[in-house]
A and B are shown apart, each in its own frame.
Chain A
Amino acid sequence: MRSLKFLLQKEFRQIFRNPAILRMIFIMPVIQLIILPLVANYEIRNVNIHVVDHDHSMYSRELIRKITSGGTFQLQGYSSDYKEALLDVEHDKSDLILEIPHGFEKQLVRESEAPIFLAVNAINGARANLGAAYLNTILRDYNQEIRTQWIQFPKFDEIPRVEVISNNWYNTRQSYTLFMVPGIMVVLLTMVGSFLTALNIVKEKEVGTIEQINVTPIRKYHFILGKLIPFWVLGLLVLTLGLLVGRVIYGIVPMGNIGLIYLFAAIYLPAILGLGLLVSNISQTQQQAMLLSFFLMMIFILMGGLYTSIDSMPPWAQVVTWFNPVTYFIEVMRMVVIKGSGFNDIKGHLGIIALFAVVLNGWAVVSYRKRS
């Protein structure tokens, strides 16, 4: 036990004497927490629309006014030539073309039905889909207005009508920040944990100081515990910092019990640190360790459901996400912070993460060799 105490003393001194590491641990996460949520905003707004109006009627003008008054769409161009509009899309100036055909108003009044054409720049599929859906809603409203102008509706509906009344729970203001900040905290915690542990041990290898430790009677698990505990403490500090930044800058107060978040993080961190240990066991140089952790992090973060929904993935990819610790923490974080889920809701996640921690660290201890 005494040797563990000395090892911990050594590690903490090393960390606190290296300003670069301290900067990475404390300043980087704060800067990223401030910038990332500003950037990761998928709200559909400022959609640039180019209207090609062949009709020049009262109806077409009224429609354009309705579309641009909502705030989602900005009239980028107005012309009577589709080619001109397409050129705008090619320059990335417009996202959407609305073409109102010649005789639109007449046809609508006389034949009771008139087409209208939408062309959407669909390179970014999700944005195209939502943009088109929004425009559709505006069109539907406008259509309803015209109908009420022309027909006196009877008291009861003439034909069956199904109405959908929608409510949004938990994030009633539909704020994207509230959704992203908890997830980004998990990513930062994961990156700090795994990168630092991996680099720390490999540096001892590269510089050669690991030989000195290897010739001492220090036991394997003492050495590994000595590396894990300091970064575990630092990880919890980063989490606290993250929660504080979330509260001060974005006013995000977890709906659920904050103790649950710490409980989960306390078990999650050893799993991630164990991963860092494994990486350092495999690598010989800092360059290798960094590339390998970068490679793993990239897969974990992309497949973790931070930016894209896991339910939408194909079945095989969903199976892959079961082996991704980041997935569980992002889910738990969002559940507790946004919805206020309780212990019973997350105990399954907790059990799985504990299993990760045991397996990864066990593997790291077994694969660590004192002999080079």
Chain B
Amino acid sequence: MKEQFLAFVKKEWFHIWRDKKTLFILFGLPIVQILIFGFALTNEIKNSRIAIVDQSKDETSQRLIDRIATSRYFDIEEFLKSGDEADAAFKRGKVKLVIIIPENFGSSLKHTNHGAIQVIADASDPNTASTLTSYIQAIAGDFQMDLNQGKKLPYTIVPEIRMLYNPQLKGAYNFVPGVMAMVLMLICTLMTSIAIVKEKETGTMEVLLVSPLKPILVIFAKSTPYLFLSLINIASILLLSVFVLGLPIAGSLVLLITLSLLFSIASLSLGMLISTITDSQQTAMLISLMGLFLPTLMLSGFMFPIENMPMPLKFMSNLVPAKWYYFIVKSVMIKGVGLKIIWKEALILTFMTFAFLGLSIKNYKVRLAIK
């Protein structure tokens, strides 16, 4: 019995091992994702290109412009002659902000102690617009402090801000847990469902079913190698995050790996469930990609904030296994908390696994009865 099972696992392993292109992508995907998310993408807004209209053209306005130019948030792309050119500059798509320093800025500041600058933001992207405006406000505030030569305003509340868990505001802290969920889902669910359906489509499933191994064990044997693959991927993602991206593993590594395995098994059983209800590879792909992968991306909370979603979607997000796993990885890996805080999420994942397994075993028998 055990030997037969192992023989099946071995057969499946050969299938995977001999398709080098697929294997290459399966291992390359998480590595490329980690590198893109870790190094290329950042939610921080910096080096934004801006245009300046300096109508004041005096020493004060020059000092303000110098201050803006040295900020790492802004790159001065061009100087415009008047505010009328702002529209054309925005439409060319080059600049995101136009700062207008009016003619009397310097003299007004000198004589009445009050000067105003105008900031026009391209609000196509509302968040960038409000962030850039707040950066300019901060620069203006610093500039003002300079003018006052350190004289403080009376009755000042001084906020001291501490960024918990991620003091450098790196994007990777948010992305790595999400990438783990996505990659495991992709390998376990998509690959398993396709592998099983492929045998159905090409007719070799019949051959497997007449073998002495129990039919349900055939399915288990087919998914075992993918569990192994996902373990390798968990290891490679964790190694890359720690040694290349410099992320901490603040909590217990054993707990993290155990729960990752639990999530892999949940995804595998989902893949089995899909394979029992479909007959063609294209349908299995469509269900896996559109029905599972996109919801995972959209509703797990790693790309988009769940709290902003309308009620029905918020409710639907609870049905996405990756949402719970994402929370677990974030908590254990980055916040460093233990089972005491995440036991509920772990329990939900366990429950989901059993539900998927039960459903696929039930469906599996029904299908055999028809044939």
CA distance A108 to B45 in the complex (A): 34
Given contacts A20-B283, A314-B40, contact A170 B124 (CB under 8 A): yes
Chain A 89-142 interface residues, beta-carbon cutoff 8 Å to B: 89-92, 108-109, 112-130, 132-133, 135-137, 139, 142
A314 to B47, CA, bound (A): 9
Q: Do B335 and A147 touch (CB < 8 A)?
A: no
A165 pairs with B117, CB closer than 8 A: yes
Chain B residue with minimal CB distance to A344? B92
Known: A116-B158, A312-B44. A164 touches B21 (CB 8 A): no
| Chain A residues whose CB sits within 8 angstroms of the CB of B283 once the complex forms | 20
User: Is B207 close to A, CB under 8 A?
Assistant: no
With A120-B162, A160-B144, A164-B140 known to touch, is A335 a contact of B113 (CB < 8 Å)? Answer: no
- The answer to whether A309 and B117 touch (CB under 8 A), given A122-B165, A125-B44, A126-B44, is no
Given known contacts A123-B174, A147-B155, A90 and B113 CB-to-CB distance under 8 angstroms? no
Which residue of B49, B129, B156 is within 8 Å of A174 (Cβ)? B129
List residues 249-292 of chain A with CB under 8 A from any CB of chain B.
Answer: 282-288, 290-292
Residues on the A chain within 8 Å of B141, using CB:
162
B157 at the A interface (CB under 8 A): yes
Q: A334 in the interface, Cβ–Cβ < 8 Å?
A: yes
Does B215 lie at the interface of the complex (its beta carbon under 8 Å from any beta carbon of A)? Answer: no
How many B residues touch the partner, as a band? 35 or more
* Contact A299/B313 with A90-B331, A335-B91 known, Cβ cut-off 8 Å: no
Chain A nearest Cβ from B40, distance in angstroms: 4
Asked whether B304 lies within 8 Å of A41 as measured between CB atoms, the reply is yes
The total of Cβ contacts below 8 Å across the A-B interface reads 338
Q: Tell me how far the C-beta of A367 lies from the nearest C-beta in chain B, rounded to whole angstroms.
A: 16
- Given that A159-B148, A166-B119, A320-B40 are contacting pairs, would A311 and B113 also be in contact in the complex, using a CB cutoff of 8 Å? no
Q: How far is the CA of A100 from the CA of B163 in the complex (A)?
A: 17
Contact assessment for B120 and A169 in the assembled complex, using a CB-CB cutoff below 8 Å: yes
Task: For B109, give the chain A residue with the smallest CB separation.
Answer: A160
Q: Is B56 an interface residue (CB 8 A)?
A: no
Q: Does A45 contact B (CB under 8 A)?
A: yes
Interface string of A191-202 (1 = CB under 8 A from B): 000000001000
Q: A90-B335, A166-B121 are in contact. Are A290 and B285 (CB under 8 A)?
A: yes
Q: Is the CB of A112 within 8 A of B309?
A: no
Does B131 contact A130, Cβ atoms closer than 8 Å? Answer: yes
Q: How far is the CA of A227 from the CA of B76 in the complex (A)?
A: 47
**Contact A113 B126, CB 8 Å, known A166-B133, A170-B90, A341-B91:** no
CA A157 to CA B116, docked complex, whole Å: 13
Please state if A43 and B126 are interface contacts (CB–CB under 8 Å).
yes
A157 to B112, CA, bound (A): 7
- From B36, B40, B144, B157, A162 is in contact (CB under 8 Å) with B144
Q: Which of A129-180 contact B (CB under 8 A)?
A: 129-130, 132-133, 135-137, 139, 142-143, 146-147, 150-151, 156-172, 174-176, 178-179
Could you show 9 A-B contacts with beta carbons less than 8 Å apart? A112-B154, A116-B160, A126-B45, A147-B153, A159-B113, A161-B114, A166-B136, A295-B28, A313-B40
The 9 residue pairs across chains A and B that have the minimum distance between CB atoms: A126-B43, A125-B169, A168-B123, A317-B40, A122-B163, A174-B126, A157-B113, A122-B166, A171-B123
Which residues of B approach A to under 8 Å, CB–CB? 19, 21-22, 25-26, 28-29, 32-33, 36-37, 39-49, 64, 75, 86-87, 90-93, 96, 109, 112-131, 133-134, 136-137, 140-141, 143-144, 147-148, 151-167, 169-171, 173-174, 194, 198, 281-283, 285-286, 289-290, 294, 298-299, 303-305, 307-310, 313, 327, 330-331, 334-335, 337, 341
Given A118-B162, A165-B116, 18 other A-B residues pairs in contact with their CB atoms under 8 A? A35-B298, A39-B313, A41-B308, A112-B154, A115-B158, A117-B160, A118-B159, A119-B163, A125-B42, A130-B130, A143-B156, A160-B147, A166-B133, A170-B123, A174-B126, A295-B28, A311-B45, A335-B91
